[in-house]
Structure 1
């Protein structure tokens, strides 16, 4: 008897891998692809900004509140930011339609060929991926910040980082970023003007608000809901279910019944929780499944299926190995003597190379990128100045006003007094240093006793990279005449906890299940060893750190996975 499938494919997760595969598979099978996304949709203008809304913008499911202090009330929120706390590493990931593209820093940067060492199968190396880099770059609209005579397009911190690079004898270059400045790359659309992009979604020419990492309320960021997902849903009739949390994948036998001993040749039943309706369990039959829930989410789901539910027992024991934080390291140079204005412009504009893109040195390779942060955070920065500084500014202002009164000046302009009170020197001259590089990729993911993902990160074995970044940061401090260089506080002794926004690995591509979890063979690229029709497409595939922002490589690999499934060579014509 033939099995009546609900879908040709179910995709779990809507980050770069999930969005690309949803679009490509829906083009191959219109109306027969289901996308499950645990987070919400975010239409233009809906990202949180008020203190109340931001407080509720974190991912917080009741079953996952394992270490909640009793004094804190139980509260479930399906917010944008999912912050995970692990062993010597913390991770920030996104929950929402578009995944990490909603809050990432926009950079599209290909790593050098030297990154693709023997840990990378031949079919997944730079030369093999080059066509897929090119296609995804075109779809995502990557380009540098426009250089024009319009003074509003001048980003002071870009020039500051370029000058520092010159002082270091290093090369700084403007980076390609997935930000909308209009459809014509040669003639940017005026700031703040809206138009439809090439795929029919309405976007606003970037307003330089520095809020990229909080979700772009003007839809100036080329997030996935405005390209791949927009086309998948509106042109190819993909069904998109938000607030739908993937739970379990079970292979079927020839009758369509669940059979954990089967290997996928008859398809799968996929289970998920409907978070909008009291965690009701739902399911569907599908010929194939693409797991794209991000490095942490995909690894956790497959581990739970293998080790808890016992529905996918044949998955390689390499699952969870080779976790990488992509060398992420965040630090600050505070209260310098050079203008930085970090509250203006796209969050990243340039990259300064430290033996990553040229003169490759695997031991210490990293890239230094500038960073902006929103204006409301600048007010907070000014608010945490030592109280004496505020008192002195207030006293000076009172003296100015008193002097006018004593001299009989009762009329006239007094803006200079408020300028003295509010000039905000600390936030204007403080700098964020974003670095990422080649770590050893030797972290291990496993399930904790409650059945959730846990990461063990050997920070001491990666300290050589972190030390090189810290030395550079101290030179930046000295060059700007700043008072303080400080890494993100949780890196300080005794905690020694790093933070990553680029978790990679866990389901790495390989030529055999003894070396990885997913196949790199051209005909089964991204397919889980031991199973037919079960694929992974996200950062979990990467065998090592790439040093560069990983979006470009994740996108290229995901395009390659989709081509293997559909048999259709991808182009930017979605």
Structure 2
């Protein structure tokens, strides 16, 4: 057993759960190390458009050192972020509170008085993240409102709550202000210019990413961030239950050959590497952490999402202006649609767009091909990447209806050299019929072309940016991986505090809930004596 440790706490991952944990633990007087696989970014570093693949995509094996990752699995395509600040660097800023019903569903039901406890933590999260109602409505938002009114959903239209600094009333876009959130203790900020580039990295210092709040204060209080570093092993020191601390083996995440492998020791470890990252690490460490629950990898959820849209060829509209997700509507009690955009010129995602047709399986593929032959001009326009961001109103559709996946490590025929994280089990719904009807009607009414992704048409593969679960809460190890205080069953000083812990389908963007849950988790850890 080590007499001393390098850190009191090591936090693996710097997304919403990790940043909150690092900030609050440093505030309580602990020595904290934060291990982050991605790079550290500044406003000057971000790409101007998504065509700069080397700065946008995270694929170190291909020498792409950006912050946006697309991970295809058998059952779903998962979009995620890798950077100091985690997904906050590339997310769409949307900060919504889920309906109260989510606390009565899933594995966390009855583990706490959630409806009494959570409002205070949501309030703290909103304050720290600088959440405000979006005042900038662009063409995409106005068009969504017109579409909703045409189909009888007009009263449900809302402007999103977002983590963006809009400046003082009357400010010109881009006005510089000293820290507006933390009594002058935080970094200076500029007011939003409404360029629509939130998901390509904010180049104007208006987006409230985690490196401007939680991580900023964590570092001010002494936390050390180890960027471009991957954890490849985690094992207890001394006692098998982790009561003597843990040893983490780490290496460079961006090097091909000289990975500088080394070890770090910690009294406690917080796993906040995202749902995929946390599952993957715990599964790979099953030999050294054999008591981890067999529920690991189960109850993975995607917010029951679908991504469709309407493209308007020509120059009449500019759908790129505004906030990445500036507004939304509800089309029934379980389903809502958000208006999504990318900045002008960020057309790379147009490469995977295609003409929308309804249906499932082979019939859908044949219908798609038939429509392509019947309407070749429309077919080409739907898939033409150039002008995609300016012409396209993207619909992010989410539901509170539950559907789960299972993930596991196994060798694939095309890569037998090592085990890969793979999805398994029953398929989840690929599309949402009610949203499809809304999209087709809206396109027909307002002169657009309905679109979807080629992965959905050809491979029956839905997309999600909101993968949660896999290490969910439960009342014991037979029902979950962690308890209601985020402690891993069977181990001392080992926690899971990120989206992997969420025990039900939220039906809304999960960033605010992950932040609030992390704030709650930190209340159970006393200050350092």
Same fold at TM > 0.5: yes
Q: 1:426 to 1:218 in 2, by over 3 A?
A: closer
Aligned residues: 484
- 1: CA distance, partners of 2:35 / 2:233: 12
Any idea what the Cα deviations from partners look like across 1:223-260, whole Å, max 9, x if unmatched? Answer: 000110011112x011111001111111122xxxxx5x
1:104 to 91, 97, 106: 91
What does 1:404-443 align with in structure 2 at a 5 Å threshold?
430-443=392-405
Once residues 536 and 337 of structure 1 are traced to their aligned partners in structure 2, the CA distance between those partners, rounded to angstroms, is 49
Over 3 Å counting, the alpha-carbon distance change for 1:50 and 1:132 in structure 2 is: closer
1:404-437 deviation digits (Å, cap 9, x = unpaired):
xxxxxxxxxxxxxxxxxxxx99875542111112
1:290 aligned onto 2:252: no
Task: Report what 2:322 is aligned to.
Answer: 345
Does 1:196 find its partner at 2:171? no
Question: Quick one: distance in 2 between partners of 1:285 and 1:51?
Answer: 39
Is it true that 1:559 corresponds to 2:519 in the alignment? Answer: yes
Does residue 1:456 correspond to 2:424, yes or no?
yes
Structure 1 contact 292–536 (Cα < 8 Å) conserved:
yes
Shift of 1:462: 2.5
Q: 151, 165, 169: which is aligned to 2:152?
A: 169
Q: Contact (CA 8 Å) 1:347, 1:372: kept in 2 or not?
A: yes
Moved more, 130-139 or 267-276: 267-276
Match of 2:365 in 1: none
Equivalent in 326, 341, 348 of residue 303 of structure 2: 326
Residue of structure 2 in register with 1:131 after alignment: 120
2:212 to 202, 218, 226: 226
8 Å Cα contact 2:189/2:206 also seen in 1: yes
* 1:121 aligned to which of 89, 109, 114: 109
Could you tell me how far apart the structure 2 residues matched to 1:181 and 1:15 are?
A: 23
When structure 1 is superposed on structure 2, of 263-272 and 53-62 the one drifting more is 53-62
Deviations along 1:79-124, whole A, 9 cap, x unmatched?
A: 3122211003111111110000000011000011122224223327
Q: Per-residue displacement from partner, 1:199-221 (whole Å, max 9, x unpaired)?
A: 42132211111111111111211
Aligned to 1:374: 343
Distance (Å, rounded) in 2 between the aligned partners of 1:548 and 1:321: 21
The aligned residue for residue 21 of structure 2 is: 21
Task: Tell me the TM-score normalised to structure 1 length.
Answer: 0.79
Quick check: 2:159–2:326 contact (8 Å CA) kept in 1?
A: yes
Name the TM-score, length of structure 2 as normaliser. 0.85
| 2:309–2:451 CA contact under 8 A, matched in 1 | yes
Report deviation, 1:549: 0.8
The 1:566–1:79 alpha-carbon spacing in structure 2 relative to 1, beyond 3 Å, is farther
Whole-angstrom distance in 2 between the partners of 1:162 and 1:51 = 28
What is the alpha-carbon distance in structure 2 between the residues aligned to residue 40 and residue 92 of structure 1? 17
Q: Confirm or deny that 1:79 pairs with 2:47.
A: no
Write the distance in 2 (CA, Å) between the matches of 1:439 and 1:79. 33
The separation in 1 between residues aligned to 2:303 and 2:50, in whole angstroms, is 31
1:550 paired residue among 498, 506, 510? 510
Query: CA separation of 1:314/1:110 partners in 2, compared to 1, >3 Å: closer, same or farther?
Result: same
- Structure 1 unpaired stretches of 5+: 63-74, 147-152, 254-258, 390-423, 569-574
Evaluate the alpha carbon distance shift between residue 426 and residue 132 of structure 1 in structure 2; reply closer, same or farther with a 3 A threshold. Answer: closer
CA distance change for structure 1 residues 337 and 117 in 2, over 3 Å: closer, same or farther? farther
Matched residues in 2 for 1:212 and 1:291: separation? 27
Q: Distance in 1 between matches of 2:202 and 2:56?
A: 14
Matching residue within 290, 295, 298 for 1:313: 290
Q: Residue deviations 1:427-476, cap 9 Å, x none?
A: 755421111123533201101222231123633x525x622221221122
Q: Distance in 1 between matches of 2:16 and 2:131?
A: 14
- Shift in Å at residue 527 of structure 1? 0.6
- The alignment status of 1:214 with 2:196, answered yes or no, reads no
Contact 2:242 2:493 in 1 (8 A): yes
- 2:54·2:66 contact (CA, 8 Å) conserved in 1? no
The equivalent of 1:446 in structure 2 is: 408
Matched, 1:509 2:477: no
User: Which residue number corresponds to residue 527 of structure 1?
Assistant: 487
Q: Alpha carbons of 1:47 and 1:566: their partners in 2 closer, same or farther (altered >3 Å)?
A: farther
- Aligned with 1:377: secondary structure? coil
Cα distance change on mapping 1:218 and 1:428 into 2, 3 Å: closer
Cα distance between partner residues in 2 of 1:388 and 1:167: 27
Asked whether the equivalents of residues 86 and 456 of structure 1 are also in contact (C-alpha less than 8 Å), the reply is no
CA distance in 2, matches of 1:325, 1:51: 24
CA deviation after TM superposition for structure 1 residue 169, in Å: 2.6
- What CA RMSD, in Å, does the superposition of the two structures yield over aligned residues? 2.8
Q: For 1:55-80, what per-residue CA distance to the aligned partner results, in whole angstroms no more than 9, with x for missing partners? A: 45422244xxxxxxxxxxxx344331
Q: Describe the shift of the 1:451–1:476 C-alpha distance in structure 2 as closer, same or farther (beyond 3 A).
A: same
Q: Distance in 1 between matches of 2:35 and 2:349?
A: 37
Aligned partners of 2:41, 2:344: CA distance in 1, in Å? Answer: 21
Cα distance in 2 for partners of 1:241, 1:432 equals 36
